[in-house]
């Protein structure tokens, strides 16, 4: 298999009558039915002007239809941009414009808000798997820019520190090496049933979808509302006999606390994969007791590199252990190096510094961001390294341990959040004079990330209403980026260089 | 205010520390859709309701339709008793 188009074509022919996708309402599609849906939509995309190399937005709730949309873009050799249907329309229209998408595949319910925010466009009705949907046709003047010198598969937008999200360009090669590694490492076969928990605009979803399809497995599409409800998640594992469970540690912790796990056997599970956050020690022994037949893996990798290190969690762990598990060893296709501030080193024991990653899985670059590409990508020893911004330590077994971030990016529930993007959004409210957003660790073991937004207002203005601030921010940023707390300050503390003094903000209670 | 609504209101204000004044929390004040209650607090509220009123939620019943206001919570509790 060389690319995602070949991957899905092979799966359609090898696994024809088997079930490929099932949703929570028990709607399902066989591989052949999925192929018919993809063929039909591909024809429509071409009819309405899509050609190889075009970038095509997909703004749909997670569904059989949305998978069909993503795969149709792959089939016509376009690059898809999965959009969060719950994000503000202003953010999605920014992304569509930044990516210069020629088409957006969406639902009749979501189309009006998107169209309202965009330049002249035309709407056409199409059916996806017999469900009425819509295509938005866009005309961007620089059509020659649409072709990029890369074999692009998709573009994932992540939070950007300057106030707008940035597009991470993933090539077919980037995705394929990770998918093939996953199939081999977790022994995926056609009897497997994979959970698809992450939304499609989140990089975790790539594994579930393509490793699942490539092995002929069954993929269970789980709704975002169910992901927030651990009682439903715990029930789904038994109901669909899920064998591979891939989620953030937060989701797992919530299942242990609220999922009424005693009611279920969960004996179908053989691989439990964690990613997106540091894995906490405390719940592992309980998980091991409940899911004794399963293997547990911690996966690490920024969107820019796909998964690049992994670690199989030990069968037993000392409850007194306070340091988190390592992020592991590099995957077979990844080359890691450490920048200790003075020079770049190969991975050797005792080193501490920023983790750099090279190899086939490293992104093509950020779209339209030459300066950012220059600072994030580094040529060294004839290889192109991505600077992860993660400070790590190498132990005497050459295992990589995460220590901290170099910048102001935080992770909450697996989502990447640039605090600067929240500040930039607060600054667009005319009454706000200054804004400073910090991360605060809370919870009994200080392992939960809370985001606290401090703000001051212009003269003659007072404290702003919290519900108002929340709804204002939700017109700019997705709900997962919303601060947990807003603190009004008459005056923002400043450093000697007149910048927001984050050290002082950290001291506020 | 009925007994059910009044005990739930006390729980919301005193145990979940909702950032709202008692006089502003009415029968129809939106709780989840307004983000006054986050997803973890909603699950704590479910645990409280089950214990306090000896009822049981099915997984799919943990949603805005049953939990978004004191009025809806009371209706749900009564329908289960």
**Do A232 and B60 lie within an 8 Å CB cutoff?**
yes
Split at pLDDT 50, 70, 90, the class of A449 is confident
Residue A154 pLDDT more than 80? yes
Query: Which one of A381-395, A417-431, A435-449 scores highest in mean pLDDT?
Result: A381-395
Residue for token pair 């056409």? A124
Q: What is the pLDDT of residue A445?
A: 58
Count of the separate structural domains present in chain B: 1
All structural domains of chain A, each given as residue ranges with its CATH number in brackets, are 4-227 (3.40.50.12780), 409-507 (3.30.300.30)
> Taking all residues of chain B, what is their mean pLDDT, rounded to a whole number?
93
Q: What CATH code is carried by the domain that includes residue B37?
A: 1.10.1200.10
> Are A498 and A431 spatial neighbours (Cβ–Cβ below 8 Å)?
no
ipTM confidence score: 0.90
Instruction: Assess A235–B contact: CB distance below 8 Å, yes or no.
Output: yes
Tell me the mean pLDDT in the region B31-47.
90
Burial of residue B21 (number of CB atoms within 10 Å: 0-12, 13-18, 19+): exposed
pTM, rounded to two decimals: 0.90
> Are A482 and A452 spatial neighbours (Cβ–Cβ below 8 Å)?
no
Q: Which of A81-90, A297-306, B15-24 has the lowest mean pLDDT?
A: B15-24
- What chain A residue is nearest to B38 in terms of C-alpha separation? A484
Q: How many Cβ atoms sit within 10 Å of the Cβ of residue A105? A: 29
Q: Which residues on A lie below 8 Å from B43 (Cβ)?
A: 229-230, 254, 257-258
Residue A487 pLDDT more than 60? yes
At B11-36, the pLDDT tens digits run 999 999 888 889 999 999 999 988 88
Give the pair of three-digit tokens for residue A255.
């299942």
**Do B34 and A467 lie within an 8 Å CB cutoff?**
yes
Split at pLDDT 50, 70, 90, the class of A461 is confident
CA distance A211 to A391: 30
Q: Which of B25, B49, B59 to probe by mutation at the A interface, max A CB count within 10 Å?
A: B59
Split at pLDDT 50, 70, 90, the class of A1 is low
Q: Which residues on B lie below 8 Å from A239 (Cβ)?
A: none
Residue A166 pLDDT more than 70? yes
Q: What is the pLDDT of residue A131?
A: 96
At B53-81, the pLDDT tens digits run 999 999 999 999 999 999 999 999 999 98
Residue A399 pLDDT more than 60? yes
Nearest to B59 among A231, A467, A482 (CB): A231
DSSP A357-394: EEETTS-SEETT-HHHHHHHEEEETTEEEEEEEEEEEE
CA distance A135 to A92: 15
Closest CA–CA distance from residue B41 to any residue of chain A (Å): 11
At A209-266, the pLDDT tens digits run 999 999 999 999 999 999 999 999 999 999 999 999 998 888 888 999 999 999 999 9
Task: Tell me the torsion sign for CA atoms A110, A112, A116, A120.
Answer: positive
Residue A340 pLDDT more than 60? yes
Q: What is the pLDDT of residue A442?
A: 75
CA distance A330 to A271: 19
- What chain A residue is nearest to B44 in terms of C-alpha separation? A258
At A54-80, the pLDDT tens digits run 999 999 999 999 999 999 999 999 999
Give me the domain span that covers residue B75. 3-80
Instruction: Assess A467–B contact: CB distance below 8 Å, yes or no.
Output: yes
Instruction: Assess A228–B contact: CB distance below 8 Å, yes or no.
Output: yes
At A263-289, the pLDDT tens digits run 999 999 999 999 888 777 777 888 888
């Amino acid at each position: 298999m060389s690319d995602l188009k070949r991957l899905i074509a092979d799966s359609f022919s090898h696994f024809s009558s088997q079930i490929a996708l099932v949703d929570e309402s028990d709607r399902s599609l066989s591989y052949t039915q999925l192929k018919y849906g993809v063929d039909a939509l591909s024809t429509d995309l071409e009819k309405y002007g899509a050609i190889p190399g075009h970038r095509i937005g997909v703004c749909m709730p997670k569904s059989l239809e949305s998978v069909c949309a993503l795969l149709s873009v792959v089939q016509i050799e376009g690059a898809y941009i999965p959009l969060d249907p719950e994000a503000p329309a202003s953010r999605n229209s920014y992304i569509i414009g930044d990516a210069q998408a020629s088409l957006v595949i969406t639902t009749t319910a979501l189309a009006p808000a998107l169209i309202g925010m965009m330049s002249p466009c035309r709407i056409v009705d199409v059916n996806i798997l017999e469900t009425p949907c819509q295509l938005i046709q866009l005309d961007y003047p620089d059509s020659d820019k649409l072709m990029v010198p890369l074999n692009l598969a998709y573009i994932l937008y992540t939070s950007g520190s300057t106030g707008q999200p940035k597009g991470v360009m993933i090539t077919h090669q980037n995705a394929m090496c990770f998918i093939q590694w996953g199939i081999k490492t977790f022994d995926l076969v056609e009897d497997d049933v994979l959970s698809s928990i992450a939304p499609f605009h989140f990089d975790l979803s790539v594994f579930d979808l393509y490793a699942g399809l490539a092995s002929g497995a069954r993929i269970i599409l789980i709704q975002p509302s169910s992901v927030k409800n651990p009682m439903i998640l715990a029930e789904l594992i038994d109901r669909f006999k899920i064998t591979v469970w891939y989620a953030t540690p937060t989701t797992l912790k919530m299942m242990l606390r609220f999922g009424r796990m005693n009611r279920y056997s969960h004996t179908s599970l053989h691989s439990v994969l964690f990613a997106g956050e540091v894995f906490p020690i405390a719940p592992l022994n309980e998980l091991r007791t409940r899911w004794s037949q399963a293997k547990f893996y911690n996966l690490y990798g920024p969107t820019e590199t796909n998964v690049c290190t992994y670690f199989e969690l030990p069968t037993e762990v000392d409850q007194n252990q306070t340091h988190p598990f390592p992020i592991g060893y590099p995957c077979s296709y990844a080359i890691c190096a450490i920048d200790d501030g003075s020079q770049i080193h190969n991975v050797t024991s005792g080193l501490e510094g920023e983790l750099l990653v090279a190899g086939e899985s490293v992104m093509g670059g950020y779209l339209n961001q030459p300066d950012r590409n220059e600072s994030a990508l580094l040529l060294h020893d004839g290889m192109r390294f991505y600077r992860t911004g993660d400070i790590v330590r190498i132990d005497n077994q050459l295992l990589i341990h995460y220590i901290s971030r170099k910048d102001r990016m935080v992770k909450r529930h697996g989502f990447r959040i640039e605090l600067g993007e929240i500040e930039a959004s607060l600054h667009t409210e005319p009454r706000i004079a200054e804004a400073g957003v910090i991360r605060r660790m809370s919870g009994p073991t200080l392992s939960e990330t809370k985001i606290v937004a401090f703000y001051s207002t212009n003269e003659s203005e007072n404290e702003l209403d919290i519900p108002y601030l929340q709804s204002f921010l939700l017109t700019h940023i997705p709900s997962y980026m919303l601060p947990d707390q807003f603190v009004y300050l008459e005056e923002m503390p400043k450093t000697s260089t007149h910048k927001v003094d984050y050290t002082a903000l950290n001291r506020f209670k | 205010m009925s007994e059910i609504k009044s005990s739930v209101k006390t729980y919301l204000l005193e145990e979940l520390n909702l950032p709202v004044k008692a006089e502003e929390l009415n029968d129809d004040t939106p709780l989840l859709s307004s983000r006054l209650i986050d997803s973890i607090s909603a699950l704590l509220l479910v645990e409280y309701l089950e214990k306090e009123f000896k009822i049981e939620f099915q997984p799919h019943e943990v949603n805005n339709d049953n939990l978004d206001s004191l009025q809806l919570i009371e209706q749900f509790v009564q329908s289960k008793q």
